[in-house]
Structures are given as structure tokens and as C-alpha cells.
Amino acid sequence: MDQRAVRDRAGRGVRALARRLLGRPGGDSPTPRRSNPDAVVDCAVYVNGRREPGRPHYADAYARARRGRDSFVWLGLHEPGPAVLAAVGRTFGLDELTVEQALADGHRPTMQRNGPVTLLVLRTAGYVEHAELTDTSEVIDTGDVMVLLGDRFAITVRHGAAGALRDVRADIERRPALLAAGPWTVAYAVCARMVDTYLEVAGHVERDLERVEEAVFARDRSADIQHIYQLKREVVEFKRAVLPLQTPVRMLLDPGTDGPPRALHRWFVDVDGRLARAVDRVAAYDDLLTSIVQSRLAQLAVEQNNDMRKIAAWAAIAATQTGTAGVYGMNFDNIPGLTWRYGYAAALALMALTGLALYRLFRRSGWL
């Protein structure tokens, strides 16, 4: 082979390699690597309960999960925009109503079946640390987390700062035997974490209640009714997050519904038991705050009544002085003692004695 042929062959090899690297026509262009949107917190494929390496694009992950056996994809989203959620809906086959529900926040805890997709809505809660309770203190921060479950996918959509699921994913990944049960394991893990958070927040609220109760029934009674009412509003918001969750959890335990697999049934029973404890504690806090508010209002009524009695007592003392001065100030010629040398001093002495006598009388009766 001559030298020119060797150069031509080498040139063709270099051009072919360049086409493959640059993706030009005539070469085998590599598949472009896509990146997840900013709203995607994490995306992973799980096979037999174990996470596959990497963090692929959610469309590639779902395609891989559909091709394999005993595999599913878990996509975590935080406050996604309409465009991102619409693209996710097209990839996973979500209907328009499901996408709209996942896009909005402020839902009541519930469970719905939209065709082959199950929508589980939970409320998140987080305790806000504060040095002291005021009439504008934010005690509990709430949000939403929605779990969309399909045959080969689990999508979690979170709204608000509270209820981050990064630790939930890390904890459940350390239990591959449980994660092998499929997408419903994600629903169990999220429900368990939310209930644990409810119990934790309830413990912090209980300490706030103890401080408020001490302030209300202390001798100086420094508690302000506005502060107590603000705490009650926060507890009512917490109650709205916790109490309605009992219905969807009980629905998941109903054998007549298309819910979690049998292997996860006892785990959801445990969640239901802990949720019942959280419900009892929150309901008791609400009732206790209602009693504290009523007690404080009764105290204010008593304090106002005491103030009115003091005002009435001092008014009676002042009335005697006014009456005496008014009688001797009428300027009639035949008033007894009007021309007496010591009449003025006697009138002052009479006013002082009557005032002192009334003061001691009111003091003894508790009005002053």
C-alpha cells in the first residue's frame, strides 16, 4: 500500500471519529445527556429495593423502570412550576385534573383514585422557634406534600418549607427489603415521617402551653389575651393538618380498596396507631387552650369588676366632700354655724372624718 493510500485511510478514520464525537451526519451521534429541572430534588430508579447509581432525567428513569422487572422510579419535586409539572404529567401519563391538583397547595388531607394513579395528600408541619409568644408569633409552619403512585413510579410534590423528604429517602434506602414492595413503600415512608413530625411538633406546643398556663394563673397574671388567642389560632391550623389525615389512612387499610400490598399492611397499621396518638394530643391542646382563654376572660371580667368597685368607692368618698361643701356654699343667712368663728375649720374636719370613715369601711369590705 502506497503512502498516499495510507494517508487517505487515516484521514477517513479521523473524520469518522470527529463525526461520532460531534454528532454530524454520517456518524453515530451519541445520545445527549439531559438534566433535570431545578424543581427536581432527586430522581432515582430502584430495582429489587436497591437504588441504581446516578441521578438520571426523570423521563429516562421512567423508561428504564418500565423495561426492568421489580423496578420503579421515585421522582421528588419541590414547588414545581406549571411547565415542569405539565412535562412530568405527559411523561408519566397523568391526567389534567391530577396535574392541576398537584400544582396547587392548601389541600385537605385525602386519598383519591384517578384511573391507574393514586393521589395521597398530606399536610406538613414544622415548629417555628421563638423567644417569646406575641400576638403575631408564628408557632407552626404548614405546607403540603402530595404522593402520586402508579404501577412503576412514585412522585412526591412538596409545597412549603416544612416537610423536606431528603431524610425520608435516605432512611428508606437503608431498608431495601421494605423498599422492594414497590411504590407504595414511598407512601408509607412519607406518612410515617409526617406522623413523627406531628408528634414532635406537639411536644414543642405542649411546652408553649405550659408557659401560657403558668402566666395565666400566676399571681401577677402577666399573660395577654391576644398572645393566648394567637397560640390557639396556630393550634387550630395544626389541628387542620393532623385530624383529617385519619380518613385517608383508614381508607388505605380497607381491604376493599386498591391500596398498598399486603406486605405493607402492618406498617400502615403502625402509622395509624401513632396518628391516633397525635390526634388525641392536638385535640386535647385545642380544648385546653379554649379553657385557658375562657379562664383569662373570666379573670379580666373580675379585674374590671374590681376596678369598678374601686371607682365607686372613691366616688362615694368624693361625694361626701362635695355634699358638705355644697351645703355650706349656698350662702343662706340662717345656715347653722355660718357665722361661727370656727365654722370653716369644723366643715373641713367634718369632710375629713366622713372621708376617713368611708375609706375604712370600703377597705374593710375589700373594695379598696
- Could you tell me the residue ranges of all domains in the chain? 1-30, 40-301, 305-365
**DSSP-based three-state secondary structure for 175:** coil
Please say whether the beta carbons of 111 and 156 come within 8 A: no
Question: So what's the pLDDT on residue 75?
Answer: 93
Question: So what's the pLDDT on residue 333?
Answer: 67
**DSSP-based three-state secondary structure for 123:** strand
Please say whether the beta carbons of 228 and 134 come within 8 A: no
pLDDT reading at 3 higher than 60: no
Question: So what's the pLDDT on residue 39?
Answer: 85
* DSSP structural state of residue 247: H
Residues contacting residue 106 through CB under 8 Å, at least 6 positions apart: 144
Q: Dihedrals φ, ψ of 186, to 5°?
A: -65, -45
Residue 325 banded pLDDT, cuts 50, 70, 90: confident
* DSSP structural state of residue 263: G
Please give the average per-residue pLDDT across 216-235, as a whole number: 76
Q: Dihedrals φ, ψ of 51, to 5°?
A: -80, 135
Matching CATH number, 305-365, of 1.20.1060, 2.30.30, 1.20.58, 1.10.3470 = 1.20.58
List helix spans (H) across the chain: 3-22, 58-67, 82-92, 96-103, 166-173, 176-179, 184-217, 225-242, 246-253, 265-327, 343-365
pLDDT reading at 26 higher than 70: no
pLDDT reading at 17 higher than 50: no
Rounded to whole angstroms, the Cα distance separating 64 from 60 reads: 6
Please give the average per-residue pLDDT across 162-185, as a whole number: 89
Please say whether the beta carbons of 147 and 185 come within 8 A: no
Residue 332 banded pLDDT, cuts 50, 70, 90: low
Q: What angle in degrees, to the nearest 10, is found between the helix axes of 96-103 and 82-92?
A: 140
pLDDT reading at 218 higher than 50: yes
- Selection from 73, 55, 62 nearest residue 179 by Cα: 73
Residue 222 banded pLDDT, cuts 50, 70, 90: low
Question: So what's the pLDDT on residue 185?
Answer: 93
Q: Which residues pair with 119 in a beta bridge?
A: 112, 148
Which stretch of DSSP H or E encloses residue 73? strand 71-78
Residue 345 banded pLDDT, cuts 50, 70, 90: confident
pLDDT reading at 193 higher than 90: yes
Matching CATH number, 40-301, of 3.30.460.20, 3.20.20.80, 1.10.3720.10, 3.30.1370.60 = 3.30.460.20
Rounded to whole angstroms, the Cα distance separating 279 from 283 reads: 6
Overall residue count recorded for the chain in this entry: 368
Q: Which residue has the cell 407552626?
A: 140
**More confident position, 160 or 178:** 178
**DSSP-based three-state secondary structure for 60:** helix
Rounded to whole angstroms, the Cα distance separating 39 from 74 reads: 14
Rounded to whole angstroms, the Cα distance separating 205 from 139 reads: 8
pLDDT reading at 29 higher than 70: no
Question: So what's the pLDDT on residue 25?
Answer: 38
